[in-house]
Chain A
Amino acid sequence: MTGQVVVSSQGSMVTISVHGRFDFNVHKEFRDAYETALKNDQLENFVIDFQPTEYIDSSALGMLLILRERIGSKARIKLTRCNKEIRSTLDISNFNKLFDIQ
């Protein structure tokens, strides 16, 4: 279902993924998802899995920036399994300088 935010956690790693369109409509769910994840004291690795994501826009970029600021130095953020267009958008905005993109 598009707009669905799915969270899974294994020990010190939390994985969040957004299905379909990652845009301003998922703002609240995304935020709830990472706020819940941050309650885990053992959290070391934060992974955003883009495999089920079809599309991101600039509000998604904004949400990633907010997440990064929120996490601070508590954990490392990885963006994984981006498709070609999503990777291209992240590269044009040079988010590889702020995030670990795989």
Chain B
Amino acid sequence: MLRSVCAGRATVTQNNNNMKILIVEDDRTSQVTLSAIVRKIGHTFIVADNGQRALELFTREQPTLVLMDVLMPVMDGHECARRIKQLCGTRFVPIIFLTGMTDDADLAKCIESGGDDFLSKPYNYVLIKAKIEAMGRIYTVNETVAQQKAELERQQLLIEQEISLARHVFNAITVASAKDIPSLRYWTSAVGSFSGDLLVYERSPAGQLHILFGDFTGHGLASAIGAIPASDVFFAMTKKGFSITEIAVEINKKLNHFLPTGLFCAAGLISVDTLRQRIEVWNGGLPPVIAIAADGSIVKQIASTKLPLGVLKNSDFDSHTEIIPLTDVYGLIAYSDGLIEAQNSEGRMLSQEGLEQVIHSAAAAPAVFNSICDYVTDFIGEEPPADDISLLEIRCDEMPAETIETLRQNFTQAVATHWSIEVNVGGDTLQKTDPLPILMNWLMAVKLPEGQRTYLYTVLTELINNAIEHGLLGLDSSIKATPAGFEEYYLQRNQGIQRLSGGYVVMRLEQVPVPGGRMIKVMVKDSGTGFDFHTVCSSLAGNEKFSGRGIALARSLCSSLQYKDAGNIVEAEYSV
């Protein structure tokens, strides 16, 4: 299709020296005179002796200018001029009438039938040359304009193809979202042919609903380009059980790397965990995410406290989320800035306050979404929107029982059944390396869900720290009894680690299947002389000292925990 548009381009004559002039004149003498004049000016000519012949010649030879006599047999000049102008369409080919008449009405008729100028007999060389040159200039201008128009149309075609590509990509991305989520409502109104606001959602293996709601800078292809890596990372990590904190870090890294400075994504990452009764939100660049109660009142607003995704380098990125309890929350309302910045016919913006008013005046929580949609539509009226508008409602429903059962089944199938890992670090290695991330990465690799990893992290931290502090460094926990002592203890710990040279800590994890699920066995052994674990391991209740809580905490998370031998070996069992 592109090719035919290019072929239609005519070449522009740079100067008037190569005009091909069609002389339409039935009188032989006049033909000779005119052709001589044209030749003398420096142009080429073709001759027709009536209007009919002229049309044939015009079509075949495509002249750039026509000198037209009025009175001719077969077809007169007026009719021929009309037909020629019709044939030209939008192209401009000047027609100069040759006439012996001086009557104003007759001259006017020449112009009406398509003539652009007239020459009267007797033929004056200077006048003819001047008029031909003037018409030639107009012809050139018209040709340039026609070319530019063709070029613009070509560019427009390219732009439309890119928009079409962007729309295709966006659709492909959105379609990948989980199908079984009835608790989301989404309304979007696009400026162009599609909205650059992105919404994708997916359930994690642990049952949380993850949502990525993003507003990319730019429209069309610019926004689609960022949406591809962002959604890829979102889906892959959610399905593997990563938290939205970890997902935010990765998406930011990808966008910062791939997108040029100046392109970024104002986004909200939301995790709704009905099993554990909490909502987690990361808001970087979106207007405040509003949590509403069942009666429609606003419980809390989670404002943007971060820079949008893709702006900062990884080392500067802040992935902290805000966590609110799910009790009392009917749902969340999130929206792009296009909504609050929408203008009415008087130029007034809808504004954050305006939106809060609408929410307050809604009868109850289920009516809020439609109230907002109706209000915004009315507010804008006939005004063309300046930016894409998106509105998202996330209801914090209980998960249906079948979904919980499916998750449980999926989980038990997904996690590797039987594995073990043992890590052995000497004292000098401990100076430089923290062994804990190795173990945590392993647990991620065997697809232990994020919630379980968090608890196990606590258990392992306590046991390993205990091994290092009591076993290798021989620190005395009772120092921690006072706040000042607490500081002193950690000072001694740091100094002790720097000076470590001998000794070792062994950490071993093993997962085995047991009836009803799986069990992770933990063993930590250090090369120290042990400690009096009987007195240290008091219960959590009534423990107001600063020490001893670590082991008690670890014990409370495990199904069993025991110190052995002299206290330099601990074995624990953690049910998954």
Docked CA distance A57–B262 (Å): 12
Closest-by-CB residue of A relative to B285 is: A93
Q: Quote the shortest CB–CB distance from A34 to chain B (angstroms).
A: 13
Q: Is the CB of B286 within 8 A of A92?
A: yes
Q: Is the CB of B262 within 8 A of A66?
A: yes
Q: B258-272, CB under 8 A of A: which get 1 and which 0? A: 000111101000000
Q: Is the interface of B mostly helix, strand, loop or mixed?
A: loop
Which of chain A's residues have a CB closer than 8 A to the CB of B285? 92-94
Residue A69 at the chain B interface, CB threshold 8 Å:
yes
Residue A35 at the chain B interface, CB threshold 8 Å:
no
What's the interface size class on B, roughly? 20 to 34
Q: Quote the shortest CB–CB distance from A46 to chain B (angstroms).
A: 16
Q: Is the CB of B217 within 8 A of A93?
A: no
Docked CA distance A88–B263 (Å): 20
Q: Which positions 39-92 of chain A face chain B at CB distance < 8 Å?
A: 57-59, 61-63, 65-66, 69, 85, 88-89, 92
Closest-by-CB residue of B relative to A89 is: B337
Q: B53-81, CB under 8 A of A: which get 1 and which 0? A: 00000000000000000000000000000
Q: Is the CB of A63 within 8 A of B262?
A: yes
Residue A1 at the chain B interface, CB threshold 8 Å:
no
Question: Chain A: how many interface residues by the 8 Å CB criterion?
Answer: 18
Q: Is the CB of B305 within 8 A of A94?
A: yes
Q: Quote the shortest CB–CB distance from A9 to chain B (angstroms).
A: 24
Residue A97 at the chain B interface, CB threshold 8 Å:
yes
Residue B472 at the chain A interface, CB threshold 8 Å:
no
Q: A23-39, CB under 8 A of B: which get 1 and which 0? A: 00000000000000000
Q: Which of B306-314, B480-488, B499-507 contacts A (4 or more CB under 8 A)?
A: B306-314
Contact (A94, B306) CB under 8 Å given A59-B218, A62-B263: yes
Closest-by-CB residue of A relative to B306 is: A94
Residue B114 at the chain A interface, CB threshold 8 Å:
no
Residue B304 at the chain A interface, CB threshold 8 Å:
yes
Q: Quote the shortest CB–CB distance from A98 to chain B (angstroms).
A: 7
Q: Which positions 278-321 of chain B face chain A at CB distance < 8 Å?
A: 284-287, 303-308, 311
A-B contact pairs, 7 of them (CB 8 A): A59-B217, A59-B218, A65-B264, A66-B262, A93-B266, A94-B305, A94-B308
10 more A-B contacts (CB under 8 A) besides A57-B386, A93-B304, A93-B308?
Answer: A58-B215, A58-B217, A58-B218, A61-B217, A62-B261, A63-B262, A69-B261, A92-B337, A94-B305, A98-B307
* B-binding residues in A (CB < 8 A): 57-59, 61-63, 65-66, 69, 85, 88-89, 92-95, 97-98
* A-binding residues in B (CB < 8 A): 215, 217-218, 261-264, 266, 284-287, 303-308, 311, 337, 341, 349, 352, 386-387
